[in-house]
């Protein structure tokens, strides 16, 4: 599959799951490109809820049904189709799919001074991630609470947990080996950064804030301290 087809697909996290936006082009090629990306990042997409935005494209119920089934085979739920085409919208509703998702309010533009430090995008979770719940994002993820056994956090960037980490955490899921995982108590059932797994994820002795990172091809944990850079 060509890189051009992959560039016609944009994926970002929303409150309800993942939003996949496709541009104009042959639907079969775009569908195959999406499935290829899912195959390449299987762990990231597994169990995700997906909304598809197709713009003005007219899609038949059969096409949407095939995509829904192929996603279901990969443990991915297609729950919404967004389109400005009345035909596509009607066919999506026939299949029981939503045709609207919640959108955040427009942000007020603020002129920033020259000495402002540029930030990075992150998903903020202000609650404990309990067993059976999964948080997915291509950005960083910050959890203000615990990650219980059976809970999962999978981020394209770094993961910061202001609490106890005892579930599954995977930072750098898109291949970023510079990503880190921080927690006030780092004792996960499973810890991974990019393609590297922790050899000894549970801490020893008195619990303390720890930071896990990749060093010389291995995941190592050290005391989490603020450092001036």
Asked whether 52 and 22 are in contact (CB, 8 A), the reply is yes
More confident call, 155 vs 198: 155
Question: 66-118, pLDDT tens digit by residue?
Answer: 999 999 999 999 999 999 889 999 999 989 999 887 655 555 565 656 666 67
Please identify which residue in the block is written with the tokens 């919404």: 80
Confidence (pLDDT) at 172:
94
Q: What is the mean pLDDT of the chain?
A: 85
User: According to the CATH classification, is domain 3-94 in 3.40.30.10?
Assistant: no
pTM equals 0.55
Q: What confidence category does residue 227 fall into, taking pLDDT thresholds of 50, 70 and 90? A: low
Say if 3-94 and 122-223 have the same CATH topology. Answer: no
- The domain spans of the chain are 3-94, 122-223
3-state per-residue secondary structure call for the chain: CCHHHHHCEEEEEECCEEEEEECCCCHHHHHHHHHHHHHHCHHHHCCCEEEEEEECCCCCHHHHHHHHHHHHCCCCEEEEEEECCHHHHHHHHHCCCECCCCCCCCCCCCCCCCCCCCCCCEEEECCCECCCCEEEECCEEEECCCECCCCEEEECCCEEEEEEECCEEEECCCCCCCCCEEEEEECCCEEEECCEEECCCCCCCCCCCEEEEEECCEEEEEECCCCCC
Confidence (pLDDT) at 69:
93
**Rounded to an integer, what distance in angstroms lies between the CA atom of residue 15 and that of residue 30?**
24
> In this model, does residue 40 exceed pLDDT 70?
yes
> In this model, does residue 5 exceed pLDDT 50?
no
> Percentage of residues in the chain with pLDDT exceeding 90?
54
More confident call, 30 vs 111: 30
211 DSSP β-pair partners: 182, 222
Question: 151-170, pLDDT tens digit by residue?
Answer: 999 999 999 999 999 999 99
Q: Which residues of 82-100 are buried (b: 16+ CB within 10 A; e: fewer)?
A: bbebeebbebbeeeebeee
Q: What confidence category does residue 46 fall into, taking pLDDT thresholds of 50, 70 and 90? A: confident
> In this model, does residue 214 exceed pLDDT 80?
yes
Instruction: Give the architecture-level CATH label for domain 122-223.
Output: 3 Solenoid (2.160)
More confident call, 147 vs 117: 147
């Amino acid at each position: 599959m060509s890189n051009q087809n992959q560039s016609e697909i944009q994926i970002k996290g929303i409150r309800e799951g993942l939003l996949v936006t496709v541009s104009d082009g042959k639907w079969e090629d775009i569908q195959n490109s999406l499935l290829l990306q899912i195959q390449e990042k299987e762990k990231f997409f597994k169990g995700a809820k997906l909304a598809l935005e197709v713009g003005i494209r007219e899609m038949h119920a059969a096409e949407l049904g095939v995509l829904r089934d192929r996603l279901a085979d990969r443990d991915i739920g297609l729950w919404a189709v967004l389109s400005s085409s009345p035909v596509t919208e009607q066919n999506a509703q026939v299949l029981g799919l939503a045709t609207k998702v919640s959108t955040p309010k427009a942000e007020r533009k603020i002129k920033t001074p020259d000495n402002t430090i540029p930030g990075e995008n992150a998903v903020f979770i202000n609650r404990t991630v309990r067993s059976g719940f999964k948080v997915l994002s291509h950005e960083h993820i910050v959890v203000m609470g615990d990650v219980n056994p059976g809970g999962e956090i999978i981020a394209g960037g770094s993961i910061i947990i202001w609490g106890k980490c005892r579930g599954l955490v995977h930072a750098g899921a898109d291949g970023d080996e510079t990503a880190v995982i921080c927690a006030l108590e780092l004792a996960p059932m499973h810890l991974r950064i990019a393609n590297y797994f922790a050899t000894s994820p549970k801490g020893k002795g008195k619990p303390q804030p720890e930071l896990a990172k990749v060093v010389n091809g291995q995941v190592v944990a050290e005391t989490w301290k603020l450092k001036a850079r």
